[in-house]
Structures are given as structure tokens and as C-alpha cells.
Amino acid sequence: MITKNTVVAVQSLYAQIEAEYNRQIQEYLSQQMTAPLENIKRHMNAVADFCNHKKTAKLHDYIGRIQEDCTAVEQLAEDLTYPFTLFIMGNGKNGKSTLINALLGQQQAAEGIVPKTWKIDIFQERQGTTCTLTFRDGTKKELKYEEAQEFLATEEKKCKESSKAISKKLKDFAASGAPPKELEEKQQELKKYELYKSAVIEASWPVTDSPILEHYRLVDTPGLRQELDDMVYASANEYFSKADGVIWILPGDKINSSGDYNELKQLYAKYEKQPNNLVAVVNRIDLIRQAGKDVDEVVREAQKLYGSMIPDIIPISAKEAREAEAILKQPNVSQEEYDRGQKLLEQSNLKALFDLLNRTFLANSLQLQVQSKTRNCQELYANVRAASMTAIDVLKKMDDERLNKIKNWEKDKSDVLKRLQQDLKNFEQRESERVLQETGKVEDRLWDMDSELRNHYIMATIIRPSQIEKTLEALVQHHCSQLSTVAARHMSLAPFREFPLLKERQLKASASTRNAVDNAALSGDLSDEGTAQFCLGGALAIGAAALLGPVGLIFAGFAVTDIGRSVAKWLSRTFGDSMSVKVKKRLSSQLGTAIQKLSQEYEAYLKRADESIQKVREDTYAELYGPSEQKETIIKDLSQLKETSKLTIKPLLLKDILFSDRRTDHGR
């Protein structure tokens, strides 16, 4: 005969076995979910080291996403230790907070408030008066209830003030006549660098004396499609990925609203199989009745719209449920008020919702929890792979752009130098040929002159050094204009800009590019006048007359007597160059020296320009994508994430639980 004590003992044993089974399933899944994280973090730390721990603006966008996804995986694994997490979702002002309070049977969620942060509020069975805040990096902070409320209110205020300031800046920017694409970039810049983003992502509040929390944690979410942190919208997937189960709340008085339908359509489009952890309620049936409409007809309309996505849809009035609870909890309530409260509770249809939750979620809570956590974890690791692959593509593309900038600069630098050097050579040839021709015309006369007069005549009438200097100076001015134009153009092309459409004067927050350009010390070297003076100073500072030298010394010792002059003329014509050739050679030699010095100055200028352009190019590239010399190493580490982020969860068999060392150790 089976006694009552035997039944109790068997039930107790079954409960213990079930609890141990659930514990080991959760522990095993947690280990499987977090297994890839160690390698992912190792590669991410390596990338950070290569970047000298700088927040490389563009590369860090992807690294930040990967780090946040890793934190989310850890959070999912931690959530396995908690009861079934039930999210209340839907568009803004559909009555989510009121429904949560109705489910809790007490006032906990703030009603009628439109939040500006991404934060979700979690209500769970817990003693005490402290709130646990969870931040984006996974850290947690315990605050007293009132302190937490004050802290969160300050965060909300910062978000609102930031949003307001940015809206004004965008309005002013648009008023300045900025075209649409520039306006879009400005919005992106302000959103990234000036918009205040609260680091708080969760606030967990203690609740006692609420029967539903014996089996669930209830989560209140900001309304979907409402603006959060300005310019940012919460999406269904943002919250669905954290949920074990979802109650989607639809507005009964606006059942044909496109907002909820579009969100659900996008959510279901993500999955090959429709999620089986979602139910829907048509809220505000009290308003439907007050408007003289048929509640059943509205529910049928909801089923027509949403039935293919959500099989279970029931009507409720969260407001009537709250009113009923308030009446029924009053001390010494009159029979009349008690009856009214019971009627409101029945009209609210809250009991039907509890029955639906028990039937769909509670009965399969572990299975649904494992299923949702596994699916969401795989999605997070897929995000890691996608972010790493996108980062690699961006790095390759931008490094190709960097190499093209170098190639184009080297080509233009070589071309302009060759062209200017040829100009100088042509100048020297023209002047030498001119002197040759003019000297040849008067060569006989020159032989008849004494040395001093001849030198003076050659210098003043034929060579004309001041004219050569003037012409050469004009040529150098023209050359310097070309040099500075080429250098300035490549300097303007050198920087890598996060927001390329925004002009320097428009950049308010992202100062990295501006700083790199300012620090390049270019101003003195890029002015035409300064460059010309520098080049001329090196080549002509000693004066043209001295540069050309005493041409008359060519004939020293022969121009003393008439006989001497005749002999010199005969020797020159018979055995050597003519006087005109000698003058040309001397001029060509001296001009060649000057031109060589000018050519060296051009090369030196281009070298200085090259250093400045290289500094701007490499510094701005590094501030966005990391040091160029580390590109291949960074890509190698990012490539490793493709394999290390793959999640394979092996099924845990019952025999593994019954005969595992973990179970034995746990029981000791």
C-alpha cells in the first residue's frame, strides 16, 4: 500500500531530480555559449595592442560592436540562472507599463513616461531595497532604490538635453544651405561624438509578494519606433534577442496601425522558423466597449492581421485589471466595492492571460529558455563574424586608397620635378645660345679691345647678368607656383576623413583629422613667394655678376700688344675655341651651377612637402583604421574571428547528467 508519506517522498525526489536536471542543463549550456569568448577576446586585445590602445575612430566602431556582442553573450549565459525572462513589447504608448503592473499585481513600472534611453527595467522576486544597474561593458552597480531612481533620472535628463542641443545644431546646419548628403553626414557626426548615450542598459528592481515572479522575470521595454537617444530607434530585434518569451501588446483602439505589423514582419523575416515564444494581447478593450464596438470583432481583425505570425491572441484591459487590483487590495473593502472589483477583474480578462502564459511558456519554460538562449547566442556570434568581415573589407579598401594616394603623389612629384628641371635646362641652353650668337657677331671687335673694356662689354652688352637674373627669378617664381600647387593639392587629398563631405570649419566633434593637419607644419613651405625666395636665395644669393665670373680671364696674357692680340686670335681660331664659344662655355658652366643648385632646392622642397603629406596621410589613417604598418596583422587577427566565433552546441544526454563527474562533485 502506497502511503501519503511515500507519495510526498516520491514527489520530493522527483522535484530534486528535476531541479538537478535543469541546473546541469543550464550549466552545460552556459559553458557551451561562452566557450568561444576567450579566443575572441584574445584577438580583440591583440588588435587593441597594435593600435596602441587608441580608439581608432572607424576601426573601433567594429571592435566596439564585437565587444558589446561578447558582453551580451556573457549576459545571456548569466540569465540562464534566472527564471524565465518575459518581455513586454510593442509600440510606444500601447500600455506596456500598465500591463506589467497588472501582471505584478502592484505598482512598479512607471506609467505614462516616454523614456529617451535604451534601458530596460527588469522586475524580479528579490528581497531588499537595492536596484542593480547593468552597464554596456557588463559591469554592475548596486544602488539604493531612491539613489537608483535619482541616477536614472539624471541619465534621462542628459539624454534629453543632448538631444535638444543636437537638434538645434542640425537645424542651424540645414539653415546654412548644406545639401542633403552633407546634412546626413553632420547628423552622423553629431550622433557619434556629441549625443549623450547612457551606459546603463538594464535596471533590475526588487519586487516581493507577486506570484507571477515565482516563475518569471518581467521586463518593461521602451516603445518600439519611438526615438531613443535622438535619431536612434529601438527595434523589435534589439529586445527580442534577450527574451525567453514575449507578450506583444497591440492597441485595441488602433488595431490597424502599421507600426506593430511592420516590426513583427521584420522580426519574423529574420528566422527560417517562426518563433514559438511569442503571444499577443489586444489591449484597451474597455475603450472598444466604450466606443460601442464589438470586442470579438476587433480580436478577429487582429487575428486576420497577425494570426500568421502569432497564433495566440487574446483581448485584455490592463487598465481595468489595475483598477480591480487597487479595489480588491483595499483594507475593509465593502461588499459592493468588492463585487465591483471582481467584475472589473473578470472584464479585464487578465485570468485568461495568466492561463495562456502557463499553457504556452510555463509548461515548456526550460525548453523555450534553452531554445531562445541558443538562438540568440548564435545570432550574436554571427554578428561578431559579420562585424569582423566588414572591418576587414573596410581596412583593405582604405589601405588601397592610401596606396593610391602615395602612387599619385609620387607620380605627380616626379613629373613636376622633371618638367621644371627641363625648363631650367632649356633656359640655360637659350641663354648660352644667345650669348654665342651675339658674341660671334662682334668677335673681331672684341679682339681689338683691351681686357678691361672687353670684359665690361661682354658683361654689360652681351651677357647682361641683371637681365639673366631677372628672367631666372621670374622662371623660379613660376616654378615655385607649380611646386606649391602640386604639393597643396596633394596635401588636401592626403587626410583620411571620417566625414569627408564636411569641410574643416564644419567639423565640431571629430577633431582627429583637423589635429593631424594642423600639426604637419606646412604653412611657411607652401606659399609661392616663400618658396621662390628660398630657392633663389640658395642659387643666386652671391649675385649674378660674381656667379658668371670674370670672362676676360680667358684671354689673360694675350691682350697686351697688337701682335699679342693677333697671335691670340690666330691661336684661338686655329687650335682652340673661338672667343664666342669660350664665352658660351663659361656662361653655360656658371648657369649650370646655378641651375643645379635650383634643382637641388626643388628636390629639397618636394622632400619637405613629402614629409608633411606623409605625416598627414599616415596620422589620419592611423586615427581611423590603426597604423598602416600593422594592417596585415590586424586583418589576420580579425580573420581568426570567423572560426573562433562559430558556436556548436552538442546535445546533453540524460546519461551524461546521471553519470557525470559534475553531478557527483555537486552532490558532495
Q: What is the pLDDT of residues 617-662, one digit of tens each?
A: 999 999 999 999 999 999 999 999 888 888 777 766 555 655 555 4
**pLDDT tens, position by position, 300-331:** 999 999 988 898 999 999 999 999 999 998 88
Per-residue pLDDT at 39: 92
Per-residue pLDDT at 146: 93
Q: Nearest CA to 626 among 61, 189, 71?
A: 61
Report the C-alpha dihedral over residues 467, 469, 473, 474, rounded to 10 degrees: 10
Does residue 386 form part of some domain? Answer: yes
Per-residue pLDDT at 285: 93
Per-residue pLDDT at 319: 94
Per-residue pLDDT at 273: 61
Residues 382-407, mean pLDDT to the nearest whole number: 96
Q: What element of type H or E holds 88?
A: strand 84-89
Residues 412-440, mean pLDDT to the nearest whole number: 94
Q: Nearest CA to 218 among 78, 99, 94, 124?
A: 124
Out of 252-256, 421-425, 460-464, 542-546, least confident range: 542-546
Q: Tell me how many degrees the CA angle 485-490-494 measures, rounded to the nearest 5.
A: 150
Does residue 340 form part of some domain? Answer: no
Per-residue pLDDT at 15: 63
Q: Cα–Cα distances in Å, from 199 out to 75, 105, 202, 416, 650?
A: 15, 31, 9, 54, 35
Per-residue pLDDT at 653: 59
Higher pLDDT, 668 or 390: 390
pLDDT confidence bin for 447, thresholds 50/70/90: confident
Quick one: cell of 260? 506593430
Half-sphere exposure of 362 (CA within 13 A, CB side): 13
Per-residue pLDDT at 235: 59
Does residue 190 form part of some domain? Answer: no
Average pLDDT, the chain: 82
**pLDDT tens, position by position, 343-394:** 999 999 999 999 999 999 988 888 888 888 888 899 899 999 999 999 999 9
Q: Is the pLDDT of residue 591 over 60?
A: yes
**pLDDT tens, position by position, 164-206:** 999 999 999 999 888 999 999 999 899 888 888 889 989 999 9
Per-residue pLDDT at 55: 67
Looking at the chain, the whole-number percentage of residues with pLDDT higher than 70 is: 79
pLDDT confidence bin for 11, thresholds 50/70/90: low
Instruction: Please give the Cα distance from 349 to 356 (Å, whole number).
Output: 11
DSSP at 91 = B
**What is the domain count for the chain?**
1
Instruction: Please give the Cα distance from 299 to 282 (Å, whole number).
Output: 7
Does residue 275 form part of some domain? Answer: no
Does residue 493 form part of some domain? Answer: yes
Which residue range(s) make up the domain with 449? 38-81+363-502+534-656
Does residue 27 form part of some domain? Answer: no
Residues 481-495, mean pLDDT to the nearest whole number: 94
Q: Is the pLDDT of residue 594 over 80?
A: yes
Does residue 581 form part of some domain? Answer: yes
Per residue in 268-281, is it b (16+ CB within 10 Å) or e — as a string? beeeeeebebbbbb
Instruction: Please give the Cα distance from 160 to 646 (Å, whole number).
Output: 40
Per-residue pLDDT at 163: 87
Instruction: Please give the Cα distance from 660 to 641 (Å, whole number).
Output: 32
DSSP at 548 = H
Quick one: cell of 621? 589613417
DSSP codes, 198-261: -SEEEEEEEE-S-GGGGTEEEEE-PPBTSEETTTEE--HHHHHTT-SEEEEEEEGGGTT-HHHH
Residue 505 phi/psi, 5-degree rounding, is: -70, -20
Does residue 337 form part of some domain? Answer: no
DSSP at 291 = T
Higher pLDDT, 57 or 111: 57
Per-residue pLDDT at 88: 93
Quick one: cell of 16? 530534486
